[in-house]
Structure 1
Amino acid sequence: MMARFFLIMALAMALATTLAFATTDTNEETLTTTSSSDEVSSEDESSPVRGMSRILARYKPRATMTCDRYPRICRDKESSGPDCCKKKCVNVMKDNLNCGQCGLRCRYGTTCCGGRCVYVMFDHSNCGSCKNRCKKGSFCSYGMCNYA
Structure 2
Amino acid sequence: MANNTILKLTTILILLIMHNSLFVSSSDIDQDHDDINEEEEEEYVLDTPLPHLGPRSRFLASIIKKGRQCDRETNNICNGVRANKGRDLLFCCKKHCRNVLSDKNNCRVCGNKCKQGERCCNGVCTNVLSNVRHCGKCNKKCSPGDSCGNGVCGYA
Instruction: Provide the TM-score with structure 2 as the length reference.
Output: 0.46
